[in-house]
Structures are given as structure tokens and as C-alpha cells.
Amino acid sequence: MSTPNRKILDVLNGKTVSPPPIWLMRQAGRYLPEYRETRKKAGSFLDLCYSPEFATEVTLQPIRRYGFDAAILFSDILVIPDALKRNVTFTEGHGPQMDPIDPDGIYGLSADGVLDHLKPVMETVSRLRSELPQETTLLGFCGAPWTVATYMIAGHGTPDQAPARLFAYRHPEAFQRLLDILAEISADYLVAQIDAGADAVQIFDSWAGVLGETEFEAFAVKPVRRIIASVRARRPQAKVIAFAKGAGILLKRYRQDTNADAIGLDWSVPLSFAAELQKDGPVQGNLDPMRVVAGGVPLRDGIDAILQALGQGPLIFNLGHGITPQADPAHVTDLVNQVRNVR
Ligand SMILES: Cc1c2[nH]c(c1CCC(=O)O)Cc1[nH]c(c(CCC(=O)O)c1C)Cc1[nH]c(c(CCC(=O)O)c1C)Cc1[nH]c(c(C)c1CCC(=O)O)C2
């Protein structure tokens, strides 16, 4: 069998690829008119996530438009609480909502049936692998236990994750049990995505940045290390990108202690520090999504700075967080052309 030429896998193996491969977090989404069209047809947001036909279509849309080096499975990190029967809904303007969980609820959680519930997602992954160009890397993903737990405890998004932080102090045993079950399910879920055709996976810890040092170690590092170890024990070839948003100087230890193949960097990570982190292994990031909204000079300067600081080492070009609905699709074309040095 010939090995497909997937640049992102080369970077994940520690190689420098020039120009760097590129994909964008949330590259399938509301900034694209074709996404908004499909979204209307699919019904609710979760209906879209569980429809192999529509989820495949929206995953492919940004690949057709921009030829990104990776496609990321269209789904959401909150399909796990949904599979755990937490009554998850997404309503326009309110973001995700679910039943807030208490300690009794945590002790009542069961992993049974979770992967069955997620079978349509695996069907989407296998359709994608057969429909994508050979050279496009297919990324699977899950949320990190801490970030998923913050939604399960509050029942919705919060600016500072105060409900989950307080819960962890008040109910340490129940909270640990929640992290453990989420880590176990997430590892199985990632293995299932890899078996269905994902080339690599990303773990999103979007709320890692609100944790103090001790809690970062216990709630962000440990569960992610456990997931990666469990996936590697079963699928030694699997590549993992870990994105701990807001982790700052703790990122140095985060890579070493989780054993991630690459770490994602948000836009607050100084490029001098990013270059140091790159000496330990591949990095991904870290353009401020607002530069994509602004376009023009701020966009050009931001891209230049990243390419200058990180372009000589293993880099996957990305944003420092998801692209926002107000981004102009034409600015994304400019971004891709500049990174690829196309005039
Ligand atoms: C925290 C988190 C969530 N979901 C996700 C995270 C981690 C990354 C991050 O921090 O952005 C991850 C995610 N969500 C989505 C993807 C799909 C793949 C891709 O990146 O293109 C991925 C990888 C689609 C989505 N997930 C969601 C949308 C928008 C919903 C819609 O189309 O109506 C999309 C395209 C909904 C969602 N899902 C979530 C929130 C808070 C919201 C509401 C906020 C919003 O509306 O942007 C939870």
C-alpha cells in the first residue's frame, strides 16, 4: 500500500514542512453561506451532528472552497454528554444547554451504550475518509474531560467556569469520578474514530486557562495524559494534538506530561515562547481569529509574524481558537494564499 502524502502527519512526526500545512479550528461553520444552507435543511444542530450525510457535506465544504490540508470531522464535544443522556440542546443565541449534574447524577452515569449512540459519527468519519482527497488529513476530536465537565456541571457555558471550579472543591470525589468516566469514554471514542478512518485526533481543552497550577495538573494534564496513553496502548500509530487554551507557561509541562505529539497554541502565547515550545516538538496555531475578521494589514502582519517566528520548525498553521461567524470568507482565501505564498 502506498503511503498517502499527508503533510500534517509529516509535521506530527516532527518534520518541518515548508510552507506549513494549514487548517482552521471551526473551519466548517456559520461564516460559510453553504454551511448555513445545509444547517437549515438538517433540522437541529444535533440532528446535523448525527446525520452522516449532512455532517459529511459540511465537513467537505471548507475543503472544497480552500483546499485545507486537514478536514476536521463535523460534530461537537458535547455529543458525549448527549450520549450520557444529559438532555443536551443547542438553541440559537443561547449556546448549548443541558441538565446540570449533581454528585448523585455523577455516580449514576454509565458508559454503557455511549459508543452505540455515537455510531452515526463513526459512519461520518468513514464516509469522509473515502470522499476526501488522498492528501487531506482527516482529524477526529473530542473535548478534554475538564472542558466537557464544565458544561455538564453548570448546564451551560459560563465565562469563568466558576460553577465547575466550586463543585471540584466541594465534591472532590464525585468530580474525580466525572473526570475518570469522561476520560475512559473519550479514549474509546477516539479509538473508534481512528478505526473508522481518522488519521489523527485533537483534544480540545478550551477552558484549561481558568485553572490554578494544582488544578491544571489534576484536571487538565492527568485526564488528557490518561486518554493519550490509553489510545496509544491500543493504536500505537495514532497521532494526537492537544489544545489547552489559556494554559500560558504551563504549556511547557503540558506537552511533556501529556505526551501529546503536538500542542495547540492560542493567540495569547507570545511567539518567542512558542518558538521555545517548538524546540520540544511540533506546534499548531496561533493567529488571533479577530485578525481574520479585520482582514487587510492586521491579517497580513499577524500571519507574517507567525511564519517568521515558527516557519523554520514543525508547524501546523492554524488560528488560536475557532473562526467566528462574522469572518469574511474572502479573508480566509487571503490567509490561505499568504501562508502558501500564492500571489
Ligand atoms: C467548547 C466547544 C464546543 N464545541 C467545540 C468546543 C471546543 C473548541 C472551542 O473552544 O471552540 C468543538 C467543535 N464544535 C464544532 C466543531 C466542528 C468542526 C470544526 O471545527 O469545523 C468542533 C471541533 C461545531 C460547532 N459547534 C457549535 C457550532 C455553531 C452552532 C450552529 O451552527 O448553530 C458549530 C459549527 C455550537 C457550540 N458548541 C459548543 C459551544 C460553546 C457552541 C455554541 C457557541 C457557538 O455557537 O459558536 C461547545
pLDDT 10s per residue in the chain (343 long)?
445 679 999 999 999 999 999 999 999 999 999 999 999 999 999 999 999 999 999 999 999 999 999 999 999 999 999 999 999 999 988 899 999 999 999 999 999 999 999 999 999 999 999 999 999 999 999 999 999 999 999 999 999 999 999 999 999 999 999 999 999 999 999 999 999 999 999 999 999 999 999 999 999 999 999 999 999 999 999 999 999 999 999 999 999 999 999 999 999 999 999 999 999 999 999 999 999 999 999 999 999 999 999 999 999 999 999 999 999 999 999 999 999 987 6
Burial 7-30 (b: 16+ CB within 10 A, else e): bbbbbbeeeebeebbbbbbbbbbe
Distance 279 CA to ligand 1 centre (A): 31
151, 189, 205, 225: the active-site residue: 151
Please check whether residue 331 is in contact with residue 290, taking contact to mean a CB–CB distance below 8 angstroms. no
For the question of residue 76 being annotated catalytic, the response is yes
Please choose from 57, 59, 76 the residue to mutate so as to test ligand 1's pocket, defined by most ligand atoms within 8 A of CB: 76
What is the per-residue pLDDT for 5?
Answer: 73
Sign of CA dihedral 20, 26, 31, 37: positive
Task: Please report, in range form, the residues annotated as the binding site for substrate.
Answer: 26-30, 76, 151, 206, 321
Q: Indicate whether residue 95 lines ligand 1 (CB < 6 A).
A: yes
What is the per-residue pLDDT for 1?
Answer: 42
Please check whether residue 175 is in contact with residue 167, taking contact to mean a CB–CB distance below 8 angstroms. yes
Q: 52-66 and 329-339 helices cross at what angle (nearest 10)?
A: 60
7-339 adopts what CATH topology? TIM Barrel (3.20.20)
C-alpha cell at 100: 446540570
C-alpha cell at 336: 490561505
Rounded distance between C-alpha atoms, residue 341 and residue 62, angstroms: 19
Q: How many residues does the chain have?
A: 343
Report the alpha-carbon angle 317-251-193, nearest 5: 60
What is the per-residue pLDDT for 3?
Answer: 56
Sign of CA dihedral 265, 267, 273, 274: positive
Rounded distance between C-alpha atoms, residue 182 and residue 179, angstroms: 5
For the question of residue 226 being annotated catalytic, the response is no
C-alpha cell at 250: 504551563
What is the per-residue pLDDT for 93?
Answer: 84
C-alpha cell at 146: 475538564
Number of helices (H), then strands (E), in the chain: 18, 9
What is the per-residue pLDDT for 343?
Answer: 63
For the question of residue 50 being annotated catalytic, the response is no
Q: First and final CA of the chain: distance in angstroms?
A: 36
Q: Indicate whether residue 39 lines ligand 1 (CB < 6 A).
A: yes
